[in-house]
Amino acid sequence: MSRLPLPEILPEVSPNPLLSVNSSDGSGKGDSTGVETTEVAIAPVSKHEPIVTRKELWSYYLYYNGDNGVGPNGYSMTLFQSLATAAGYDPVKGPGSDCSAPDASGQCVLPWGSGTKAVSSVVLVSNGVSFAVMTLIFTTIGSAADYGSFGRWLLLILTVICWGAQFASMSLTSPDRWGVAMALYMVGFITYGATLVFYAAVFPRLARNTPHARDLREKYERGEISAEEYEVEESLEKNRISNISTMHSNIGYIVTLALNLSLLLPREKDPKVNNYVLVLTNGYWVLLGIWWFIFQQPRPGPTLPKGEHYLTIGWKQIWIALKQYKKLPYTFTYLVAFFLLADGLNTTGTLVSICQNDKFSFSFLQNTYLGLAQAITSTISTLGFWYIQKYWKISTKKMFVVTNVVTILIPLWGMIGIWTDKFGFHNVWEFWAYNVMFGLFQAPYYAFSQTMMAELTPPGFDNMFFGLFGLSNRASSMIGPNVIQAIIDNTGNNWKGFPFLFALCTAASLVIWFAVDVTTGRRDAVAWAEKHRSYAETGVFSSEEDGVPERPKKA
């Protein structure tokens, strides 16, 4: 995977990157009360960067089309939970009982250490450990991807490991292998999550180097468009690539599930059909994903500074980045709030999936039908949200806020299931409704959250800050799974975990809505990158006293 070289921010193109203009866009804190003077920071670009070709852009989309999560994020968990349930027993009836018996109590436990643990808790523990390992990956080698061609090889290695774990699922054919199923699920889930983060770190660079983006830049430099108009159009270009790539992921979701029906329907009674489906799903990703590593153009970063190592520079970079929170307040406010929001959403999805798997008896076929409902609505909504945003030129934050509302409503609906069996993820129709609503609103959530991070990231330091974003997104779920599994162990009730998740999602959403000014944060990020442009050559930051110029106060 290519990494945008940090020399991108050398001032060879735009000698005056900070332009003072009047702003009144009403898009955040300090903008809604009237006209004020703000500094529009326009990021310099390097003309040494190759322009994105059609083959390169399509191979980028196709990688995400294959990396759609059906296998490592869906089927693998279902297979693991199914084998664990078959190997467990009903604690009410004692060892040797069948958790799936008609007169079973609804609880199921496995031997765990010196005691037992509920199967649902085991699944949540595996997720929590997986997210902890992702955290280690992102903190240790995330920022190192900014140097040389390390990022390109990192994505390739992670992708190949994930492919291997998925193909190895052919060995999971009996309940006594639930431990191996857990290990393969974790390896696949960890590497899958990591591929998403390092894949996402590429898109801001692609957006800045498309023919349209370069044309906009030339018009701006010739004085044909204003700084603010350029800023808006560049943001829309980022949204275009982010939304199209997300749409391709959803298209891949649909195609993969449809292909799987060619096995699930005729071989429904075959005990190994689930294993065959995982192989088919993974094969689809291999077929589409390999092209990115072939057509990707070289954009190597600077060489690693003397005395540094790929395994240590990541921690130093994160420490340096964290110390900038006063100079990039909106960037870090968003990272912290999104950490909690992603934790709540990811854990909510896991908990709903556990309930869904129990309801449909771990049926790959039923999960495929539900997945198709989600995939089709996801594709429609991604295109619809993008069209609405483009037509009315709505800000990324406002679009993201709309998706946040449903993020909050999902755990709220699950809470109802504590007090009644009529609603709250107890009925078949509710899981159909959940997958449709998730598709309609949560697919755009991923696109807009990614674009907001790109807006708030200093140009040229994409991996440093997308590594932190990876902690906030894919590696955030260390709190939720541990809290929820403890609640389930103590109560024996899966639904008792929803109130905590509702509170977590609500609190995080309110912070994003009212405390993150994307317009000012973007300008701060560009100014910060301009100030530290020498870091690309020396690996040493300038003095802390020479911070980003203070934003002019309101008149």
Q: Is residue 323 part of a domain?
A: yes
Which SS3 state, helix, strand or coil, does residue 217 take? Answer: helix
CATH number of residue 457's parent domain: 1.20.1250.20
Q: Is residue 438 part of a domain?
A: yes
Q: Is residue 2 part of a domain?
A: no
Contact residues for 491 (Cβ-Cβ < 8 A; gap 6+): none
Q: Is residue 8 part of a domain?
A: no
Query: Contact 86/180 with Cβ under 8 angstroms?
Result: no
Please compute the mean of the pLDDT values over residues 462-491 and round it to a whole number.
77
Strands 36-41 and 18-23: antiparallel
Q: Where does 290-328 have alpha helices with state H?
A: 292-295, 313-322
Can you give the pLDDT at residue 504? 95
Higher pLDDT, 549 or 65: 65
- How confident is the model over 394-414, as pLDDT tens digits? 988 999 999 999 999 999 999
Q: Is residue 335 part of a domain?
A: yes
pTM greater than 0.75 (yes/no): no
Q: What pLDDT band is residue 480 in, cutting at 50, 70 and 90? A: confident
Q: Is residue 325 part of a domain?
A: yes
* Res. 552: pLDDT tops 70: no
Host H or E run for residue 250: helix 227-264
Host H or E run for residue 538: helix 535-538
Q: What pLDDT band is residue 5 in, cutting at 50, 70 and 90? A: very low
Which SS3 state, helix, strand or coil, does residue 466 take? Answer: helix
298: left (phi over 0), alpha (psi -120 to 50) or beta: beta
Residue 223 is part of which domain span? Answer: 54-101+117-538
DSSP string across 371-403: HHHHHHHHHHHHHHHHHHHHHHT--HHHHHHHH
Burial class (CB in 10 A: 0-12, 13-18, 19+), 133: middle
- How confident is the model over 99-157, as pLDDT tens digits? 988 888 888 999 998 889 999 999 999 988 998 888 888 778 776 777 777 878 889 99
* Res. 19: pLDDT tops 90: no
What span, in angstroms and rounded, lies between the C-alpha atoms of 349 and 378? Answer: 15
- How confident is the model over 27-72, as pLDDT tens digits? 434 443 333 334 555 666 667 789 999 999 999 999 999 999 999 9
Which SS3 state, helix, strand or coil, does residue 53 take? Answer: coil
* Res. 9: pLDDT tops 50: no
- How confident is the model over 353-369, as pLDDT tens digits? 999 999 998 899 999 99
Q: Is residue 221 part of a domain?
A: yes
What span, in angstroms and rounded, lies between the C-alpha atoms of 27 and 513? Answer: 11
Q: Could you give the number of structural domains in the chain?
A: 1
Can you give the pLDDT at residue 534? 65
Query: Contact 488/472 with Cβ under 8 angstroms?
Result: no
What is the 3-state secondary structure of 421-457? CCCCCCCHHHHHHHHHHHHHHHHHHHHHHHHHHHHHC
Q: Nearest Cα to 116, choosing from 92, 133, 81?
A: 92
Residue 76: DSSP 8-state: H
Q: Is residue 516 part of a domain?
A: yes
Tell me the one-letter amino acid at 185.
Y
